[in-house]
Amino acid sequence: MSGDSDLSGLALLEALESGDLRVANPTVDGEWVVNAWVKEAILDIFRSSPTVSMGNELERSDYLRLDLRRMPFRDKELLSVRRFTKREGVRLVPGGSAVRRGVFLGEGVVCMPPMYANIGAWVGPGSMIDSHALVGSCAQIGSGVHLSAGVQIGGVLEPSGARPVICEDGVFVGGQAGLFEGVLVGARAVIAAGVVLTAGTRLYDLVEQRELSGSPGEPLRVPPGAVVTSATRPLEGAWAKERGLSGRCAVIRKYRDAHTDAATALEDALR
């Protein structure tokens, strides 16, 4: 399915949820193509769908035993919270998580509470979204990815041609890390706890002795298998040097090896 801008809002959401439609698709040569018309259609839902009270439409919670009819939920009529059945094979652990309409979660995805996934996001089979993690609108998360506790994956709807944040297969993102503004993390890369990457972040590769950077039009790409950690570098200027001031930066300390695999492995018992 491609380029069908005549899809109704409900049909669009169902196509996104089934995985038949994506905001961005990988190509055979490893590049990514953004389907701008899909983002435009999502934006049209926000424009055309009325804001309504949703509390009266929700049934009593089977998990928390709370009367959700008393909750003052108000949102766009088409954008309610997704419900999952055994057929999807998703494990949504009780405790305050929410997955919005228009999100694809592959078989075997585990959602730990509280987490949130926004419209247009795509999360591949076998991935884990840990507690307090956010998967922003249109983010593309591959298979076997681990988003640790507190991870923030930024969302993007406008401009329609802008690349969303992408984590390719097997990526590990450590706790409290943040990926924003269309950053692309290559397959099996590791982003250490607390690292924040944006479109224009300068990434220092200590292994290959090179500097990687991006821009709003061509956001940063983290190489496949890279292990990215935080570091500091001296700030420029005599005043800063006199005071020994340093700024935070991101560095590639090594590329993934057997030791890294062992340190980032997910316990089968958690699934």
Residue 56 amino acid letter: N
**Cα separation, 266 vs 61, whole angstroms:** 30
Give the pLDDT confidence score for residue 63 in this predicted structure.
41
Q: Which of 124, 83, 104 is nearest to 15 (CA)?
A: 104
Domain boundaries, the chain: 81-264
Report phi then psi at 224, rounded to 5: -55, 135
Give the pLDDT confidence score for residue 136 in this predicted structure.
98
Give the pLDDT confidence score for residue 262 in this predicted structure.
79
Cα 13 to Cα 110, 135, 153, 248: the distances in Å are 21, 17, 21, 40
**Cα separation, 178 vs 163, whole angstroms:** 16
- Superfamily grouping for domain 81-264: Hexapeptide repeat proteins (2.160.10.10)
Residue 269 amino acid letter: A
Give the pLDDT confidence score for residue 43 in this predicted structure.
95
Give the pLDDT confidence score for residue 213 in this predicted structure.
95
Compute CA 264 distance to the chain's CA centroid, rounded to the nearest angstrom: 18
Give the pLDDT confidence score for residue 269 in this predicted structure.
57
User: Virtual CA dihedral for 254, 256, 257, 260, nearest 10 degrees?
Assistant: 100
All residues at 6 or more sequence positions from 176 whose CB lies less than 8 Å from its CB, including other chains: 148, 149, 150, 151, 193, 194
What tens-digit pLDDT sequence spans the chain (271 residues)?
A: 545 556 789 999 999 999 999 999 999 998 999 999 999 999 999 999 999 887 654 444 444 444 545 567 889 999 988 989 999 999 999 998 999 999 999 999 999 999 999 999 999 999 999 999 999 999 999 999 999 999 999 999 988 899 999 999 999 999 999 999 999 999 999 999 999 999 999 999 999 999 999 988 899 999 999 999 999 999 999 999 999 999 999 999 999 988 878 777 765 656 5
Give the pLDDT confidence score for residue 203 in this predicted structure.
98
Instruction: Count CA atoms closer than 13 A to 5's CA, side-chain side.
Output: 7
